[in-house]
Structures are given as C-alpha cells and as structure tokens.
Structure 1
Amino acid sequence: MNQNYILSNEWSIIEEGFDKSRVKSSESLFSIGNGAMGQRANFEEDYTGDTFQGSYIAGVYYPDKTRVGWWKNGYPEYFAKVLNAPNWIGIHVKINDEVLDLASCKEVKNFRRELNMKEGWLLRTFEAVLQNGVEISVSAKRLLSLDIDEVGAIEYSIIPLSESVAIEFSPYLDAGITNEDSNWDDKFWEILDVTSTNNQAYIHSHTMKTEFHVCTFMESQLFLENEKINIPTTEFVSKTKALHTYKIEVSKDQKATLYKFAGYTVDRNHKKEELLLAAKSVLVKVLTLGFEELLKLQKKAWRKIWDMADITIEGDVQAQQGIRFNIFQLNQTYLGTDARLNIGPKGFTGEKYGGSTYWDTEAYCLPFYMATKDQNVAKSLLEYRYNHLEKAIENAEKLGFSNGAALYPMVTMNGEECHNEWEITFQEIHRNAAIAFAIFNYYRYTGDYSYIPEKGLEVLIGIARFWYQRATYSTDKNKYVILGVTGPNEYENNINNNWYTNYSAQWCINYTMENIKKIKNDFSVDYNRIMAKVSLTDNEISKWKRIADNMYFPYSQEHKVFLQQDGFLDKEQITVSELDKSQRPINQKWSWDRILRSPYIKQADVLQGFYFFEEDFTQRELEQHFDFYEPFTVHESSLSPCVHSIQAAKLNRMEQAYEFYLRTSRLDLDDYNKEVEEGLHITSMAGTWMSIVEGFGGMRVKNNTLSFAPKIPKEWQAFSFKVNFRNQILKVNISHDKTIFELGNGEELKLIVNEQEIMVTPNNLTAV
C-alpha cells in the first residue's frame, strides 16, 4: 500500500494532521533548496520524536574512508559524503518556561504543512496544547532565497489562544552536527571560532581533510503585532553553538513574530579570510530588504523559472501535482548558475548514495536542462566532465588501463571515483557510454558543434580507448566480448556480455571515429592540437574499428530478442505477475543472493539501449523487446518507469504509459519504494519530464528537425509544455482533437508532426 496522505493540489504539496510516524517522510517531501544549499523540512522548534536532521551546502563534502571486509586492489580509498552542515534553522521556544515540542504536547490540532511550488516557500501552521495547559497557534514560514543564494529566512509567529503568556524565542546556530551514514564515526567538521555580537552570531568551521571553510551566520528581529520590539538579548556561546534569547510578554490573541535571517558563506566563493565580512555584508543586504521583500523577490524568481519550465495538465490534479513537484525539485537542486556543481541523486534532501555526480546527469537530466534553460547550462554539464578527464584517466590507470584510456567514475565529487561497492566501481562501466551519448545528444538538440572540437573529442577518445582495452577476443565466438560487468540493471552482477554495455561500447567507438573524421576535415587546427596532445594514430583507430565491427551481442533465436546478458535464459522465467506482493520490494525482502539468481530486473538494460539508440531499431523490434522484458521488471530503480512510459507511448499503449508516468511522477509523493524518508529521487525526476515531452509529446530531433508524435492519456483533457530549441521558444499544447504550436519571437521554424512537415511562424498559433 503506497502512502496517500499528501493532498491533491495543482501548485502545492500539502499535509494535514500531525502524525509522528510520517515526520521523516515529510521532512524529505517538503525539502527546500536554491541550488547553492538546501535542507530537509525539519521543525524549527525542538522535536524529540523520530527525525532526520539535514542541512547541506552544494559542493561541500568529506572523503569518508572506504569500509570493506576485504580490501582489493583498485578500490577507491574513500566514499564522498554529502555533508550534514551546521544547522541554522533552529529556534528553541518556551511558553511560560515550558519547551514547545510537538512530541510531548498534550494535543496538536489543525496541523498543516504546505510547500508552495509556484512561489518557493514552506509554511507550517498548527495549534498546540502544552503540558502546562497553555494553548497557542504557531505559524512558521521559510524560504531559501534564489536571488541571494547564501541566505534563508524564517518568519516564526506565535499567538497565545488561552491566556497571556511569557514567550522565549532562542534562535541558534549549531555546528555540533553529524552524518547519519558515517563509516567510522569520524569527525567531519572542526569548529574554529564561535562569536556573538550586536545581535549577530557566526560560526567559522571547516571540513576535515577537504578543508572547505564555511561561515554559518544569523541575525534575528522580534516583532509584536507589526511593531519591531527592541529588548535586551541574552547571548550564549559554547564550543559548538551560538544562541540568542528574547523574552517577551504577549497578551492573549496578540501575535509575536521572530524573523530569522541566516545561511552560509563558503570559501568556494570567497577568500577564507573574508568569510566573516561576506556574511556581514549578506546580513546587511537582507535585513535592509526584510522578510516580505525577500518573499516578493522569491515569487518573482520562481515566476521566471515556471514561465519556461512549467508543464500544465488539465483534468488530472494528481498528474499535475506530480510533474510540478518534479520540476520544482530539479530547479531547487541545480539552476546552472555554477558550472562547478552537478545534480546529485538525492539533491539537498538526504545523505544516501554520497557524491554529487552519477551517470544520471547525462542520461536523464541533460534533456530537461537543454530544453528548459539556456543551452549554456547544458554545455556547462558537458564541460564539467571535460574538466574531470584527467581524473577519469587516473581512475582507469588504477584498474590497469593505459595510453589515456578514461573511465569516468560511477560516483564523484571532483572527478575521482568514490564509490566503494566492487560491482559498481569495477563493473558498472556503462556510465562511460552515457558521457559520450550526452555529447551526441547536446549537438543533436542544440545544433552547437563547437564543444566537440574544443573539448568533447578528447573525452570521446579517452572513452574509446577504454572500450578498446576492456574488450576481449573470444576464440570460441570469433567475436569481441566484454566480461565481468554490471549493467544499469544492478540485479545482475558480474555477468558477461551485457547487451546494453556491448552495444554502447560499439556505438561509442563508431561515434568517436565519425567525429575524428569530421574534425580532421572541418577543424584542422583543433584536429592537429588534439592529435598532438593524445598521440592518436591511424593504426590505433583501425584497431578500434576491428572491435566495433566484431562486437558480440547475445541473442535468443527462440524469443527473437537480444538478451540482457549471456546467462539470462538460464534463470527461472517467472514473471512479476506471479510474484507474491508481500515479497515486494524484493530489495528489502530478499537476500542479495536470491535477487541475483532471479530473473527480476531493477531497470531493463535492453530497453534503456532501445531508448538511447532508438533510430537503430524498428517499431516491431521495440515491441518484441518491450513485451519480453517488461513482465520481468520490478522497477525498483527510480530510473526505470520513465523509460517504460516513453516506450509504451511510442507503442501506443497509453494505459501502460500513463501508469508508468504516474509511477515516475509520484514515486516519492506516494513512496512507491518505501524509502522516501531517506530523501527524494532527484535525478529520476528529469525522467518524469521526459515521460511527458518525449513520451506523450513524442518529441525527437530527426534529421536536424524538431519532430512530434503527440498522444494524450484519456485521463487528461489537454497538456502543454515549452521547449527552448536552438534559442527559439516553442509552446506545444496537445488535446484530444488537435495540437497547437506557438512560436515566440524569431524566425519561422520547420517541424515534423506525425511524419508531416509543417512551418510555424513567430507569434502565431499553428494547429494540426
């Protein structure tokens, strides 16, 4: 049974009623971020119930030493921890000397929490009866500013409902924090200084080993009704904490409000010795603006984002809520304003997985950012990998590869592999193909070839060299094979000839050779520079070609399908429909040994290949492979349902496509995999966008032309989206009887709609 306590609403995530058992889930679902930092939706006041405290700073991490039972050569030395950062949201609250704590109140009434996605703020309201009998009404609104991304603001109001009371607000900073997932209980932070003066507090700390310096800061203001109150403040400083206490007498039905402005300045953006000055400067700026003006700026910034990124769905509130939640969280995680950053699979919502960069970025996120932002944002994601090329070469060298072969990491913060499960680190090498495919995908969509001669070809050559060395000649098969791998389907480890890996390797080599030829002919200066740098010869290229031309692909003549891997048919072919529902999800109910021997698929490798390389296969071949593999797929990877939704739509199986869409869009809202309390699945959220735009919209780029094959679920009346295609903004509105295209300013644009060519002119509606 999936959770279902989130209320249906087109623009907000809403929870009503206080239930201690779902606090941690809600902390994930109501998380907020601004691309530079983020935090779980922890309560500002004390809470002694079960909670997962989490505040995170983009790009700040700790190399937690790898912990394995038996060390093997090639293991990464550390696992990069997304660090729980000093907590600045906290406000101790006392009412007539009793601590406000929802875990111990006599009664909590009218509890409501809202994450307003349209405007980018979080609001929590409730009424509580304390043990001392006092009844109060509380409202706490919070935002992380998009305009001034080093700061957040809290408006925390209390109204006594039963009697006049003495209220104590004690806003604080706390740097005595730990990660839930430490391998060795290491100390991740060292606190250098805690200071408090003139109603401001600062904690200067740095991470151990990585030496990131952070200044956490705060300043607060107290208001009674709408009048600012200046009262004496008690300041307290310890080794890990700075706290200010404001005591005020409040009459029944009066409103006392604490405004807290706080955040981080980081040495990624400032000189270490100037962090305190930078923090003071930020506080001056935001105190001058005030909470309401910050909120106005927040609404304006989100309005600009939604103007381009929104997808509207008419007639299906749950579907509408789902896609907006996904788009909102993607923009909270990564806005493209800092090319040094990337899109972590949990974003700012939890600590699981570690690292900030997976193959998810190239395989799933790039299309979303290409279409909803300026193309330079997507180009920055490609350049991120170019900047890590030397590290990718080092990663390959550690595993015994040479001559500039590059193996990009499965998980990374700085280009160095930092995932320590052997079946991932050594075997899930398909990630290399996603890096290459992203280069192809970027050029196909934007028409901007400049990245490839400038930087991309060096990446492609490093990847091609890796595939050349990773393949093995089989005298038995008289073909080249790739042994001992794990595909995207992580429920099959250490297998031979994973079809997706082999096919991707062949494609990468061919694509690299194609671009070498093009750059030699059209960009001779770049060609000569690159060849001198990488020492590539025609003889080496001919060896690549021999492997690509003779790659082995496992195939079943009986079923007329490519096999996931050599031994797939050796497994007992029991479909998911025959699996007892009490056994799901199998990754939480079964031993790993049992999973590996089962036919069940976490995400279908072969169908992933058919998604990437769909032009290589016929509709009939897609149908055969979809029908064969879908019945074995348990979709316990967050990246699985979106690909199935796109392909079901292509096959005109709209009921299935819609079902998969709901699963991907509401994966976290409905907690399909029973793990949302650990954090959200940020990167798969881009797959939700793809499900609509590429699935139901049927958007592709074919022969340099934008193409659509529109379809619509019966549950919807209409849906619309915008795409930025080669610096032209195209709005697409699809209903059951027609599709309307609206082009912004610029030149006319040729489209292909259901295989027919049409011309769309600027500032006119074109219906098909």
Structure 2
Amino acid sequence: MNQDYIKPDNWSILEEGFDVERVESSESLFSLGNGAMGQRANFEEQYSGATFQGSYIAGVYYPDKTKVGWWKNGYPEYFAKVLNAPNWIGINILINGEMLDLYRCKEVRNFRRELNMKEGWYERSFTAVLQNDLEVEVKITRFLSIHRNELGAINFEVEVLNSDATVVFEPYIDSGITNEDANWEEKFWQTLDVKTEEHRAYITSKTLKTEFHATAFMQSQLLKNGKVLSEEATEVIFEEKISFRYTVEAKKGEKVSLQKFGGYVTNMNHKKEDLVPAAKAVLESALKAGFVTLKKEQKEAWEKIWEMADITIEGDVKAQQGIRFNIFQLNQTYLGEDARLNIGPKGFTGEKYGGSTYWDTEAYCIPFYMATKDHHVARNLLTYRYNHLGKAIENAEKLGFSNGAALYPMVTMNGEESHNEWEITFEEIHRNGAMVIAIKRYVEYTGDYSYVPEKGLEVMIAIARFWQQRANYSSQKDKYVILGVTGPNEYENNVNNNWYTNYLAKWCLEYAISNIEKVKIDYPGDYDRVMDKTGLKVDEIAKWQEVADKMYFPYSEEYKVFLQQDNFLDKEIIPVSELPKAQRPINQKWSWDRILRSCYIKQADVLQGFYFFEDHFPKEELEKHYDFYEPLTVHESSLSPCVHSIQAAALGRMDQAYQFYLRTSRLDLDDYNHEVKEGCHITSMAGTWMSVVEGFGGMRVVEGKLSFNPKIPNGWNSFSFKVNFRNQILKVSVAPGKTGFVLEGNDFLEILVNEKSIVVEPNNLVSV
C-alpha cells in the first residue's frame, strides 16, 4: 500500500492530523532549501519520539572512512558524506514549567502542516493538551530565504487557551550533532568558538579532515499580541550549545511569539577570520527588515522562479500537485549560481547516497535547468565536471588505466570516487558516457558550441581513451567486447557486453572524433592548445575508430531485439505481472542472489539507450524493444518511470504514459518505494519535468529547431509549460485537439509541430 495522507492541492503540500508513524516521512516531504542550505522539517520544539534530524550546508562534506569487510585494490578510501550541520532551528517551549513535546502531550488535535510551494514557506499548527492540563494553540512559520541565502527565519506563536500562564521560550544553536549514516560513529565537526553578544549567538565549527569552517548563528525577539517586547534574556552557554531563555507572562487568550533568525556563513564565501562579522551583518540586516518583509521578499523570489519554471495542469489536482512539488524541490536544491555545487540525489532532505553528485545530473537534471533558467546554469553544471577532470584521470589510474584516460566517479564531492560497492565503483562505467551525452545535449539545445573547444573536448578525449582501453578484442567474435560491467539495471552485476554500455562507448568514440575534426577546422587555436595539452596523436584516433567500428552488440534473432547483455535469454523470462504482490518490491523481499539470477530490471537499461539515441532507430524498433523489456521492469529505481513515460508517449500509449508520469511525479508524496523517510528523490524529479515536456509535449531539438509532437492524457483539460530556447522564451499550451504557442521577446522563432514548420512571432498566439 502506498501512503495517501497528503491532501491534494494545486499549490501546497498538506497534512492533517498528528500520527507519530508519519513524522519521519513528513520531515522529508516538508523539507526546505534555498540552494545554499536546507533542512528536514524537524520540529523546532523538543520531540522525544522517532525523528531524523537533518540540517545541511551545500558543498560541505566529510570523508567518512569506507567500511568494507575485505579491501579490494582500487577501492576509494572514503565515502564522502553530506554533513548534518549545527542545528540553529531549536526552540524549547515551557508552559508553567511543562515542556511542550507532542510525543508526550495528553492530546494533539487540529494538527496541520502546509508547505506553500507558491511562496516558499512551511507552516505547522496544532492544539495540544500538556501533561499539566494546559491547553495551547501553536502556529509556527518557517522559511529559508532565497534572496538572502545565508538566512532562515522562524515565527513561533503560542496561545494558552484555558488559563493564564508563564511561557518560556528557549531558542538555541547546537553543534554537538552527528550524522544518521555515520560509518564509525565518528564526530564530523569540531567546535572552535562559542560566543554571544547583544542577544546574538555564534558557534564556529570546522569539519575534521576537510576543514570547512562554518559559523551557525541566531538572534531572537519576543512579541506579545504582535508587538516586540524588550525582555531581557538569560544566557546558558555550554561547550557546544548556546541558549537564551525568554520568559513572558501570558493571559488566557493572549498570543505570545518568538521570532528567530538564524543560518550559516562558511569559509566557502568568506575568510575564516570574517565569519562572525559576516554572520552579524546577516542578522542586523534581517532584524532591520523584519519577519514580515522577509516573508514578502520570499514570495517575490519564488514568484520569479515560478514565472519560468511552472507547469500548469488543468483537470487533475494530484498530477498538478506532483509536478509542482518536483519543480519546487529541484529549485530548493540547486539554483545554478555556483559552479562548485551540484545536485545530490537526496538534495537537502536526507543523508542517503551521501555524495554530492551521481550521473543523474548529466542524464536527467541538465535539460530541466537548461530550459527553465538559462544556458549559463547548465554550463555551470558542465564546468563542475570539467573542473574535476584531473581527479577523473586519477580515478582511472587507480584502476590501471593510462595515457590520460578518465573515469568519472559514481559518487563524488570533489571529483574523487567515494563509492564503496565494487559492482558499482568498478563496473557501472556507463556513467562516463553520461558526461558526454550532457555536452551533446547542451550544444544542441543552446547552440553554444564554444563550450566544446574551451573545455568539453578535453573531457571527450579523456573519456574516449578510457573506452578504447576498457574494450578488448575478442578473436572468437572478431569484435571488441566490454566485459565485467553493471549497466543501469543494477539488478545484474558483472555481466559481459551490456548493450547500453557498449553502444554508449561506440558513440562516445565517434562523437569525440567528429568534434576533434570540427574544432580543428573552426577553432584552430583551441585545437592546437588541446592537442598539446592531451598529447593526442593521429594513430590513437585511428585506434578509437577501429574499436567503434568493430564494437560487439548482443542480439536475439528469435525476438529481434538487442539483448541487455550476453546470456540474458538464459534467464527464466517471466513478466512482472505474474509476480505475486506480496513479493514486491523485490529489493526488500528477495535475497540479492535471487535478484541477480532473475530477469527483472530495476530501471531502463536497453531502453535508456533508446531514450538517449532515439533518432538512431526507427519507431518500430523502439516499440519492439519497449514491448520486450518494459514487462520485465520492476521500476524500483526512482529514475525508471520517467524514461518509460516519455517512451510510452512517443508510442502513443497515453494511458501507460500517464500512469508512469503519476508514479514519477508522486513517487515521494505517495511513497511508492516505502523509503521516503530517508529523504526525497531529487534528481528523478527532473525526470518528472521531462515526462511532461518531452513526453506529453513531445519536445525535441531537430537540426537546431525546437520540435513538438504534443499529446494530452485522458482527463486533462490542458497543460502548459515554458522553455528558454537560445534566449527566447516560448510558452506551449496543449489542450485536446489544439496546441498554442506564445513567444516572448522581439525575434520570430521557427519551430516544428508534428514535423511541419511553423513560424511563431513575438507576443502573438499561434494555434495548431
């Protein structure tokens, strides 16, 4: 059973009613972020029930020592972890001496949470009866400022309903925190300095080993009936914690509240010696603006984001809520302004998959950021990988490759491999191809070829060198083969000739060769520089061409399909539809041995290749492969439903396309995989956007022009989206039987609709 407690709403994520079993899931779903920091929706006040504490700072990580039973040559020495940062949101509440703790209250009613995605804030309210029989009404509003990305703000309001009472607010910051997923129960932070001044508190800490320095800070003010009180606060200072104690006498029915401002400054953006002054400046500015103005700023910042990124769906509230939740979380995680940062699979919502980035960024996220922001954001994501090229070459050298061959990491924070499962670290090498796919898509979509001679060609050459060395000649087949790999389907390890990997390798080799030739003609200065830097010779390129020309692809004459890998048909082929529901998901019900011997596919594998290289194959081939592989796919990866939704739409199977869309868009809201308490699936959310734009909208780039083949799911009245194509913003609105295009700007745009050329003039609706 999927969870179904989130109330359908066009613009908000809503929960009603308090249930201790849902607390950790909701902490993930109601998470906040602003690209620079983020936090799970932990309660500000004390909570003694099960909770997963999590506050995170973008780019701050720790190399947790790898934990394996048997060390293998080439293993990374550590697994990079996004760190649980010092906690600044805490506010203990005592009413007539009794601690407010929802886990211990006699009664909790009218409990409600709202994550307002339109305006970027989170609100929680409830009525509770404490152990001392006092009845209180509480309302808390919180947001992380997009405009001032080192700042967060909280308004914590309490009303005692059945008595006069003494209310004590104890806001605190605490650096004595640990990670939920620590391998060795190490502490990751060392507290360096704890200080207070004028109702402000600062704790400066540094990470061990990586030596990131961060100052967590806070300042609070007390209000009664909306007016600021000049109450004195008592300071309590410990080795790793500072709290202030504010006491206020509240008559029955009076509202008292604490407004708390806090956040982080780090040495990524300030000198170490300037951290406390920088924090002080953030607090002074926040206090001067005030909570109401800051919230208004937040609304305006999100309005700007939604103006470009929104997808509207008329006639299906659950589908609308799903896509907006996905777009909201993507923007909370990464806003594209810092090339040092990337998009983690859990963003700021949890600690699983500890690393900053996987191949998900290149395969799924770049199209979203390219189309909803501008090409500079996508260029930053490509630059992130270019900056890590030296480390990728080192990673390959550790595995025995030479001559500048590069293997990009499966998981990384700084370019170094930090994943420690051998069948992934050593064998899931298809990730290398995604780096080149991203460059190709960027060039096709933006028309900005300059990235290739400046940076991209070096990446292509290093990756081509890897593929040439990783393939070996089989005299039995008179072909080049690639042995001992794991494809995108991680339910098969150490296989030979995974079709997707082999096809990607062949394409990467050929794409590198064609770009070398283009740069040689069009950018001779860059060509000379790159050839000199890489030491590339003509005979090496000839070897690449030989490997590409003679690459082996497993094929079934019986089924007339490419096989996922050698010997795939030795498996017992039983469709997923014949699996008892009690045995699903198989990754939680079966032994790994049984999974590896089964025909079941975790996510698109051969079909991932058909998605990337759609124009290489006629539609009949897609249909044949889709019909063979989709019935064997269990979709137990968050990255699976979106690819299948796009392909089902391309084949005109709209009912199936819609079901896959709903699954990807509501993967976390409905907790399909029963794991949302560990965090949301951020990178697959970009796949949800692709399901609408590339799937239902049928958007592609064909010979430098935008092309659309629009379709609409049954039951939808309409849907619309905007894309920024080469600095021209096009709005596409699809309704049954009709598609409208409106172009912003001054120049006309020629597009293809159902393969026919259409000219769209600025600010003029064109209906097709």
For residues 592 and 269 of structure 1, the distance between their equivalents in structure 2, rounded to whole angstroms, comes to 45
Per the TM alignment, residue 231 of structure 1 is displaced from its structure 2 partner at its CA by: 1.4
Counterpart of 2:732 in structure 1 is 732
Q: Which runs of 4+ in 1 moved over 2 A?
A: none
Whether 1:199 aligns to 2:199 is yes
- Name the SS of the counterpart of 2:751 in structure 1: strand
- Deviation string, structure 1 residues 428-461 (Cα, Å, up to 9, x no partner): 0000000000000000000000000011000000
Q: Single out whichever of 677-686 and 225-234 deviates more from structure 2.
A: 225-234
Question: Is 1:236 aligned with 2:266?
Answer: no
Shift of 1:591: 1.0
Q: Distance in 2 between matches of 1:136 and 1:528?
A: 74
Code of the aligned partner of 1:609: G
State the partner residue of 1:476.
Answer: 476
Describe how 1:428-439 pairs up with structure 2 within 5 A: 428-439=428-439
Match of 2:466 in 1: 466
Partner of 2:606: 606
Say whether residues 1:134 and 2:122 are aligned partners: no
- Aligned partners of 1:306, 1:187: CA distance in 2, in Å? 40
5 Å-filtered alignment, 1:414-453, equals 414-453=414-453
> After superposition, where does 1:326-475 map in structure 2 within 5 Å?
326-475=326-475
Describe the superposition over 1:322-363 as per-residue Cα deviations: whole angstroms up to 9, x where unpaired.
000000000000000111100000000000011111100000
Question: Equivalents in 1 of 2:584, 2:174: separation in Å?
Answer: 40
Q: What residue number does 1:79 align with?
A: 79
1:104 matches 2:67: no
Q: State the alpha-carbon separation in 2 of the partners of residues 196 and 286 from structure 1.
A: 18
Counterpart of 1:301? 301
Comparing 741-750 with 680-689, greater Cα deviation is found at: 741-750
Q: CA deviation at 1:198?
A: 1.4
What is the alpha-carbon distance in structure 1 between the residues aligned to residue 446 and residue 412 of structure 2? Answer: 27
Is residue 2:628 matched to residue 1:628? Answer: yes
- Structure 2 CA distance, aligned partners of 1:529 and 1:377? 26
Measured in 1, the distance between the counterparts of 2:165 and 2:590 equals 55
1:566-577 maps to which residues of 2 (within 5 A)?
Answer: 566-577=566-577
Q: Residue 326 of structure 1 aligns to a residue in which SS?
A: helix
The match for 1:175 is: 175
Aligned mates of 2:226, 2:586 — CA distance in 1: 56
Structure 1 counterpart SS, 2:688: helix
Q: Deviations over 1:672-716 (max 9, x none)?
A: 000000000000000000000000000000011100000000120
CA distance in 2 between counterparts of 1:31 and 1:187 reads 24
The residue identity in structure 2 corresponding to 1:262 is G
2: distance between equivalents of 1:180 and 1:585? Answer: 24
- What is the CA-CA distance between 1:604 and the residue it aligns to? 2.2
Q: What SS is found at the alignment partner of 1:418?
A: coil
TM superposition shift of 1:288: 0.3
Question: Which residue of 2 is the match for residue 556 of structure 1?
Answer: 556
The aligned residue for residue 521 of structure 2 is: 521
Residue 532 of structure 2 is matched in structure 1 by 532
How far apart are the structure 2 equivalents of 1:746 and 1:357?
38
Residues 171-217 of structure 1, C-alpha deviations (whole Å, 9 max, x = no match): 00011100011111111010011112211111010000000000000
- What CA distance in whole angstroms lies between the structure 1 residues aligned with 2:414 and 2:227? 49
Q: CA deviation at 1:659?
A: 0.1
Counterpart residue identity of residue 240, structure 2 = T
Q: Does 1:53 align with 2:53?
A: yes
- TM (normalized to structure 2)? 1.00
AA partner of residue 284 (structure 2): V
Q: Deviations over 1:92-120 (max 9, x none)?
A: 00010000000000000100000000000
AA partner of residue 662 (structure 2)? L
**3-state SS of 1:487 partner:** coil
Where does 1:594-743 land on structure 2 (aligned, <5 Å)? Answer: 594-743=594-743
Query: What code does the residue aligned with 2:638 have?
Result: S
Distance (whole Å) between structure 2 residues aligned to residue 627 and residue 502 of structure 1? 22
Matching residue's letter, 1:435 = M
Q: Counterpart of 2:116?
A: 116
SS of residue matched to 2:14? strand
- Name the Cα RMSD after superposition: 0.5
Question: Displacement, 1:254?
Answer: 0.6
Instruction: Determine the structure 1 residue equivalent to 2:150.
Output: 150
Distance in 1, matches of 2:434 and 2:621, equals 23
Secondary structure of residue in 1 paired with 2:290: helix
CA–CA distance in 1 between the matches of 2:604 and 2:416? 28
Structure 1: how far apart are the matches of 2:567 and 2:181? Answer: 36
Q: How many Å separate the matches in 2 of 1:572 and 1:90?
A: 55
Structure 2 CA distance, aligned partners of 1:19 and 1:176? 28
Aligned-pair CA distance for 1:227: 1.3
2:100 is aligned with what amino acid?
A: L
- In 2, the alpha carbon distance for the partners of 1:596 and 1:200 equals 56
Q: Which amino acid aligns with 2:502?
A: N
Aligned to 1:271: 271
Between the aligned partners of 1:553 and 1:212, the Cα distance in structure 2 is 47
**Cα displacement string for residues 228-266 of structure 1 (whole angstroms, at most 9, x for unaligned residues):** 111121100001100000011101111001000000000
Alpha-carbon separation, structure 2, partners of 1:203 and 1:124: 28
Equivalents in 2 of 1:468, 1:412: separation in Å?
A: 24
In the alignment, residue 381 of structure 1 is paired with which amino acid?
Answer: L
SS at match of 2:456: helix
One-letter code of the match for 1:446? T
- Corresponding letter in the other structure for 2:38: G
Report the Cα distance in structure 2 between the residues aligned to 1:194 and 1:594, rounded to whole angstroms. 54
Give the aligned residue type for 2:304: K
User: Equivalent residue of 1:239, what SS?
Assistant: coil
SS of the residue 1:486 aligns to = coil
Partner of 2:215: 215
Residue 746 (structure 1) shift: 2.4
Give the aligned partner of residue 227 of structure 1: 227
Cα displacement string for residues 32-54 of structure 1 (whole angstroms, at most 9, x for unaligned residues):
00000000000000000010000
- Please report how far the alpha carbon of residue 76 of structure 1 lies from its aligned counterpart in structure 2 after TM superposition: 0.3
Letter in 1 for 2:748: E
Partner of 1:745: 745
| Structure 1, 31-40 or 180-189: larger mean CA deviation | 180-189
- The whole-number CA distance in structure 1 between the counterparts of 2:519 and 2:38 is 42
Matched to 1:153, the amino acid is A
Q: Give the partner amino acid of 1:284.
A: E
Following superposition, the deviation at residue 292 of structure 1 comes to 0.4
Secondary structure of the corresponding residue to residue 302 of structure 1:
helix
Distance 1:426 1:110 in 2: 52
Distance 2:523 2:199 in 1: 61
- What is the CA distance between 1:315 and its match in structure 2? 0.2
Q: 1:540 is paired with a residue of what secondary structure?
A: helix
CA distance in 2, matches of 1:136, 1:516: 70
Secondary structure at 1:587 match in 2 = helix
Alignment gaps of 5+ in structure 1:
none
String of CA shifts for 1:279-306, please: whole Å, max 9, x gaps: 0010010000010000000000000000
Aligned residue for 1:332, secondary structure, equals helix
AA of the residue aligned to 1:478: D
Distance in 2, matches of 1:272 and 1:588, equals 46
Q: Which residue number corresponds to residue 322 of structure 1?
A: 322
Q: Which residue in 2 is equivalent to 1:487?
A: 487
1:27 and 1:287 map into 2 onto residues whose CA distance is: 28
Question: What residue is the counterpart of 2:504 in the other structure?
Answer: 504
The aligned length equals 768
What code does the residue aligned with 1:714 have? N
